[in-house]
Structure 1
Amino acid sequence: MHNFLSGLLLASGFLAFSSVAAEDNKAGVLPLETFYQGERIEQLKLSPDGKRLVALKNIKEDTLIQLIDLISGESVYLGKTDNKKYRFAWVRWANNTHLLASFRYGDVRGLNTKTTETRLFSIEAKEGAELLPMVKAVRKGEHQSQFQDDVIKLRFPDDDHFLLGLDREMAGHDTIYQVNVKTGKASVVQRHKTNVASWVVDRQGQARASVDYNAKTTESSVRVLRPGQTEWVDAWRWPAFSEQAISLLGFGKDPKDLYISANHEGRLAVFKVDLSKADLPRQLILSHPVYDIEGSLIYSAARDEPVGIYFSDESSRSLFWDDEFKAFQAGLDKALPDTVNYITNLSSDDRSYLLYATNATTPGVYLLGNRDEKTLIHLAETFPGLNEENLVHKEKISYKARDGLNIEGYLSIPKGKTGPGALVVLPHGGPFSQDSNSFDTFSAYLANKGYIVFQPNFRGSSGYGHQFLTQAVGQYGMAMQDDITDGTKYLIEQKIADPKRICIMGASYGGYAALLGAARTPDLYQCAISFAGISDLREQRNSYRNYTNYNLAKKQMGEDNDQLEQNSPLNMVENIKAPVLLLHGTEDLSVRVKQSRMMAEELADENKVFSYIEIEDGTHHLDYLPHRKQTFEAIDAFLNKYLPL
């Protein structure tokens, strides 16, 4: 980041918190801690007046809420968690004097069903301030809401209040409350309805759209309230995984302008819908010929109008349709040509802003900008010590699957590597997600260690259109797995991968793919690593029985029990030849630890070479630092033994 726009000054950091600073690590294999310690700084937010910052700062296993005064440079801590009982889901400015913080934790509810829960607190932005709950204890007849942090609108109707969606009166059906950020006092502004799960308000704070979901039929619907009218009308309705699906993005300053994400020529695009007209006409705002456009709207704080969207194609970035912000972004990209540059936060007058710059070799840098002074000040690195000297760029590749479908993926080749090398195939979780050319911890660790890393976006990955995505519905372990296999064989044919030194590794769905790869193509891989992987598809589907999304899970995973059993690694253990490493947290609420326990038992019964490490109190996302340490150390030792370099 050394080519700067004429007239734009890039200054060095001046805040104490900005260099948690590690010594510069030169090229070479880095300590494991460099990767498993996680981000040092997260969720940096600028106050509306542009005078202060708040962030989540990670120091060893603790996460602290840090407040920074940009005028004096002083820094104080407002709260701390060790990430065992709970963690901070997010923190943001409620106004210039108070913060809102969401706490996420696990709990045990009825029917012995474990869930993730959230609670919402206010904190005055000053040293020694105490946490104030924003949702009072339930009274007789009220529902204990599982999620209590659905902040619908900040600073409404004034700076001291905000709007909160809460299913307190009727489970699964939100009421909108106006809450005082200083006292927690709440009043109802929009009562729940039986045909509404959640509400969307316009920029004036009026509930103007509602979303409902029928858990029995898995059908979703949207209703709208036209400006100047009192009767709500049906707008759209669609079954699960339908091409007709709609995502409500938000409103324009004019309450008739509703922005949505919807299908356009097989890809998701951004439309503006005119609610004042009976046929709800759509104006195409933004589309892409290859990739879906989906994400959250970017608003001009000063104009209270959407100007763009956070978008993910081969890399995540910001796309603007507003001319002023197009020019703004272009200037930043010219100043920082080697990174993807997000305007993450704007002051209320749009003149001060936070910028997040990143790429595969720049894990993430926060900068503070001023549009009037044309300055950018370096604030913090998310992973100090990780940079272009010890990280590698990801190369986008494409190949043909056996049925002719084009599949994209990303390849990380260690510095100085020539000729066929040891390969780690790293399929993503989800499966409705995607890998990109941006930084991620596991591929960076593997490439730094010396392995070639392959991250395929097999069919079912998000971002490539509806038809590509829905090929995962009811098809776990079928053509999706073939895409991973075909990509691996392609790299062998291209003499990139050494056919005798290949390991497959993944987490969640990726862990399932790793186990299935070892079982279905036993001669292709020399080892397999599964973190929180599924071994029995039918058992995983049935684990959702006590949840409202059970019928959706049946559609997603499939209702053909024979097919589920045929595609479950648990039933193919006798085929496995390669050593297997299983890792699983006992408090995983997404994929139950039972999945790995069953797999370990079968591997033992068949006298296979395997290791099983159960992470006591570990979660699906390894929220606690010692659990990440344990996981990385186990993977590192396993690779050293079974895929030595």
Structure 2
Amino acid sequence: MNTLILIALTLLAGALLTPILIHRAYRAPRIQEHRSPADLGLPYRAVRIPTANGKRLFAWFIPLPEGIKNGPAVAVIHGWGGNAGHMLPFASLLHHEGYAVLLLDARNHGNSDDDSFSSMPRFAEDLEHGLDWLGHQPRIDPQRLCLLGHSVGAAAALLVASRRQDLACVISIAAFAHPVEMMRRQMRSHHIPYLPIGWLVLRYIERTIKANFDDIAPCNTIRQGSCPVLLVHGEEDESVPLADAQRIYANRLDDRVELLLLPETGHDSREAISTHGGSLLAFLRRNAEGLPIAMGRRDAG
């Protein structure tokens, strides 16, 4: 009898502790911004944007260059544990080309509000709220809104694109192909067996985020979008293998999806923006139709 009671208590303790341990293991590190657009000589204002669950997002809004009316805009979101400051190199590139830019902090990141947990679908929720806010700003053409995301933010951008019909285009940088495969790679790196522990963890996460992994996987959502997409991936990415980008690309339905591979580049492709920035701008020029010519435009490529 004592043995049965001990087993029962052990199972109960495991059931109670497992959610706590999972939330702790997948909690995003909060890193504050250490730079601002002012450090790059960019005009900006800090804004707070309402998002889901009554929370507010911190963001930097960099308006269109003077003299441009009804111009295009790009909403930009970082990856897991990142913040708006990490995406500043893209802001400089885009602003000098004649775009307005919104650099977002996802919930639980940077200076945005805390929430119960972070997930890729919540990144997508935050990106959508930022996108809606951006489309209502003066001088911005709501028909020429674009998204740019990195890593988890890239997967979120593809998820948003699968749900909306009002996007001009999306740039996805270093997106994983499927969340299950990504998390199984992480488990293997920590020597966590998939059966039964890993399988149970994935089922718990799926229930918590209220989304089926297959439904939100970039290798599947790429088939549901209606706008042009540029998949960018470093050939030496050790966090998200190059094969993930190739799998997403292989699942495309038509030639609206393009693949740009970056040689000698790892997961953080910001380091290579001086060499691939021109390709990003060329993609935007093709798809944000009617891009006005700004005085002093430079070719970043």
State the TM-score bracket (shorter-chain normalisation): 0.7 to 0.9
Q: How has the CA–CA distance of structure 1 residues 550 and 507 changed in structure 2, closer, same or farther, with 3 Å as cutoff?
A: farther
How far residue 496 of structure 1 moved from its aligned partner, in angstroms, is 5.0
1:616 aligns with 2:293: no
Counterparts of 1:513 and 1:576, CA distance in 2: 13
Q: How has the CA–CA distance of structure 1 residues 507 and 587 changed in structure 2, closer, same or farther, with 3 Å as cutoff?
A: same
How far residue 518 of structure 1 moved from its aligned partner, in angstroms, is 1.6
The residue number in structure 1 matching 2:4 is none
SS at match of 2:54: coil
SS at match of 1:576: coil
Counterparts of 1:545 and 1:507, CA distance in 2: 22
Residue 206 (structure 2) aligned to one of 547, 554, 560: 560
The residue number in structure 2 matching 1:451 is 99
How far residue 485 of structure 1 moved from its aligned partner, in angstroms, is 0.8
1:635 aligns with 2:280: yes
Counterparts of 1:427 and 1:536, CA distance in 2: 19
The residue number in structure 2 matching 1:547 is 189
Q: How has the CA–CA distance of structure 1 residues 577 and 359 changed in structure 2, closer, same or farther, with 3 Å as cutoff?
A: closer
Q: How has the CA–CA distance of structure 1 residues 575 and 397 changed in structure 2, closer, same or farther, with 3 Å as cutoff?
A: same
- State whether residues 120 and 156 of structure 2, in contact with CA within 8 Å, keep that contact through their aligned partners in structure 1: no
- Structure number having the greater strand percentage: 1
Q: How has the CA–CA distance of structure 1 residues 543 and 517 changed in structure 2, closer, same or farther, with 3 Å as cutoff?
A: same
Amino acid in structure 1 at the alignment position of 2:66: G
Amino acid in structure 1 at the alignment position of 2:120: Y
- State whether residues 65 and 100 of structure 2, in contact with CA within 8 Å, keep that contact through their aligned partners in structure 1: no
Counterparts of 2:136 and 2:146, CA distance in 1: 17
Counterparts of 2:172 and 2:198, CA distance in 1: 22
The residue number in structure 2 matching 1:361 is 38
How many residues in Structure 1 have an aligned counterpart in Structure 2? 265
Amino acid in structure 1 at the alignment position of 2:136: E
Amino acid in structure 2 at the alignment position of 1:476: M
Residue correspondence of structure 1 range 134-173 to structure 2 within 5 A: none
- Moved segments of 4+, more than 6 Å: 551-554
Residue correspondence of structure 1 range 505-524 to structure 2 within 5 A: 505-521=148-164, 523-524=165-166
- State whether residues 410 and 454 of structure 1, in contact with CA within 8 Å, keep that contact through their aligned partners in structure 2: yes
The residue number in structure 2 matching 1:482 is 125
Residue correspondence of structure 1 range 410-425 to structure 2 within 5 A: 410-417=60-67, 419-425=69-75
How far residue 454 of structure 1 moved from its aligned partner, in angstroms, is 0.8
The residue number in structure 2 matching 1:576 is 225
SS at match of 2:181: helix
The residue number in structure 2 matching 1:602 is 251
- State whether residues 544 and 553 of structure 1, in contact with CA within 8 Å, keep that contact through their aligned partners in structure 2: no
SS at match of 1:361: helix
How far residue 608 of structure 1 moved from its aligned partner, in angstroms, is 4.2
The residue number in structure 1 matching 2:239 is 590
Counterparts of 1:439 and 1:570, CA distance in 2: 24
- State whether residues 508 and 531 of structure 1, in contact with CA within 8 Å, keep that contact through their aligned partners in structure 2: yes
Amino acid in structure 2 at the alignment position of 1:607: D
Residue correspondence of structure 1 range 160-559 to structure 2 within 5 A: 239=21, 241-242=23-24, 312=32, 315-316=33-34, 359-363=36-40, 391-417=41-67, 419-430=69-80, 432-436=81-85, 440-464=88-112, 467-468=114-115, 470-472=116-118, 475-477=119-121, 479-495=122-138, 497-521=140-164, 523-548=165-190, 559=205
Counterparts of 1:558 and 1:433, CA distance in 2: 25
- State whether residues 71 and 140 of structure 2, in contact with CA within 8 Å, keep that contact through their aligned partners in structure 1: yes
The residue number in structure 2 matching 1:179 is none
The residue number in structure 1 matching 2:8 is none
Q: Which runs of 5+ in 1 are unaligned?
A: 1-216, 220-237, 246-291, 296-311, 317-357, 364-390
The root-mean-square deviation of aligned C-alpha atoms, in Å, is 3.5
Normalised by the size of structure 1, how large is the TM-score? 0.37
- Structure number having the greater helix percentage: 2
How far residue 411 of structure 1 moved from its aligned partner, in angstroms, is 0.6
The structure whose RCO (Cα within 8 Å, separation 6+) is larger is 2
Residue identity over aligned pairs, in percent, reads: 19
- State whether residues 149 and 155 of structure 2, in contact with CA within 8 Å, keep that contact through their aligned partners in structure 1: yes
Counterparts of 2:94 and 2:45, CA distance in 1: 15
How far residue 402 of structure 1 moved from its aligned partner, in angstroms, is 4.9
Amino acid in structure 1 at the alignment position of 2:98: G
- State whether residues 541 and 557 of structure 1, in contact with CA within 8 Å, keep that contact through their aligned partners in structure 2: no
SS at match of 2:212: helix
Normalised by the size of structure 2, how large is the TM-score? 0.74
